[in-house]
């Protein structure tokens, strides 16, 4: 006997997590070969003008530390970058898990609620990260 209707695997649950993870992997590859690239990122204009680091300051060094196997150094340079890489990997795993289980995409109202919650969490993380960078980034 069947436990219920068969679950059809929905590729929609994979798109956002895998695209995000692919973009992060692309950035990690660029960080791995950053010193060999024919161009380098310009100095931070925000820091140059205001004397304060922006929320992304230290991000390149954090990515370079991650691909060199130095996660604690990456967190020291920019905690939000290290957290973002980890979260993107976890989101990709969750997307694959949901796909294998045949989970249907969330309803639009539930997606909107989730986006609002995640946006507030991201704002809190980035604000805390910026305070950290202002206090400790040299």
pLDDT tens-digit readout, 3-57: 445 578 888 889 999 999 999 999 999 999 999 988 888 889 999 999 999 999 9
Report the alpha-carbon distance of residue 61 to residue 43 in Å, rounded: 13
Supply 13's token pair: 């649950």
Q: Where are the domains of the chain?
A: 12-136
pLDDT tens-digit readout, 53-77: 999 999 999 999 999 999 999 999 9
Integer-rounded Cα Rg, in Å, for the chain is 19
Report the alpha-carbon distance of residue 103 to residue 17 in Å, rounded: 14
pLDDT at res. 1: 46
pLDDT at res. 33: 94
pLDDT tens-digit readout, 103-118: 888 899 999 999 999 9
């Amino acid at each position: 006997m069947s436990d219920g209707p068969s679950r059809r695997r929905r590729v929609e649950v994979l798109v956002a997590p895998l695209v995000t993870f692919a973009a992060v992997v692309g950035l990690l590859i660029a960080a791995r070969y950053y010193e060999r690239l024919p161009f380098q990122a310009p100095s931070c204009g925000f820091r140059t003008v205001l004397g304060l680091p922006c929320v992304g300051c230290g991000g390149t060094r954090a990515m370079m530390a991650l691909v060199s196997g130095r996660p604690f150094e990456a967190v020291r340079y920019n905690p939000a970058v290290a957290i973002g890489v980890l979260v993107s990997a976890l989101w990709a795993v969750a997307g694959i898990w949901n796909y294998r289980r045949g989970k249907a995409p969330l309803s639009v109202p539930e997606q909107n609620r989730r986006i609002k919650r995640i946006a507030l969490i991201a704002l809190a993380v980035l604000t805390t990260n910026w305070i950290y960078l202002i206090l400790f980034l040299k």
